[in-house]
Amino acid sequence: MPTAVVLTDFGPQVIEVVKVLRRRTGLSLWQSRSLLDRLPATILEDVSEDLAEATVCELLEVGAKAEVRRQA
């Protein structure tokens, strides 16, 4: 079942969150930073559950809040 990753809060370590976003999404520095101004933001869509869970775990490790949402 396809899933999405939604970032709900970037927490205190903005730079670390931006690094994770760049690594996981392939977005530029500017695009990654601008996502943080539009929370909640879907950062990945139609990905496997394993990839979604790994991305959420990585975001949680740097102090952000994110969740996996199952898509219909």
For residue 55, give both structure tokens. Answer: 């991305």
Residue 4 is which amino acid? A
Residue 52 sits at φ, ψ, to 5 deg, of -60, -45
Residue 31 is which amino acid? Q
* pLDDT score at 71: 80
Residue 29 is which amino acid? L
Q: How many CB atoms lie within 10 A of CB 68?
A: 17
* pLDDT score at 50: 95
Residue 31 sits at φ, ψ, to 5 deg, of -65, -40
Model confidence pLDDT, tens digit, residues 20-64: 999 999 999 999 999 999 999 999 999 999 999 999 999 999 999
* pLDDT score at 66: 97
